[in-house]
Amino acid sequence: MSYTTNNFLRIQKPPEPSETEILRGIRQYLQVHGWYVIRHHQGLGCHKGLSDLTAIKDGVTVYIECKKRNGYQSAVQKKFQADVEAHGARYILAKGIEDVKCLCEKAG
């Protein structure tokens, strides 16, 4: 039996999820936990910087912007975040389900 050095097992990292995949996962996770989730699409006439999702449960409204691991907010998204937080709303910059789990944990 002969072995060659060219046949080493190459371990590849799985591809990073897209922003759309992250958004879908977060949306489904929150819905399973009883949140009413609205998906926003940017378009002509849309409020600039509007978050990707709005989640509502028990009188609490949370705006959620979804990004890839290395993604970042634009200037208008940062302004939207500052505006909604100044008015008492909650805003989460989420790069995965881990970032919204705090919304579904029971106190106590």
Mean per-residue pLDDT over the chain, rounded:
89
pLDDT over 70 (residue 3): no
Full residue range of the structural domain in which residue 77 is found:
39-103
Is 98 domain-assigned?
A: yes
Is 96 domain-assigned?
A: yes
Is 44 domain-assigned?
A: yes
Number of domains in the chain: 1
Residue 46 to residues 30, 53, 54, 55, Cα–Cα distance (Å)? 24, 14, 15, 18
Is 81 domain-assigned?
A: yes
Is 3 domain-assigned?
A: no
Q: Which two tokens stand for residue 68?
A: 């890839």
pTM: 0.83
pLDDT tens column, 21-59:
999 999 999 999 999 999 998 887 888 999 999 999 999
Is 80 domain-assigned?
A: yes
Give the pLDDT band of residue 107 (cuts 50, 70, 90). Answer: very low
Is 9 domain-assigned?
A: no
| Cα angle value 69/60/46 (rounded, 5°) | 60
Is 52 domain-assigned?
A: yes
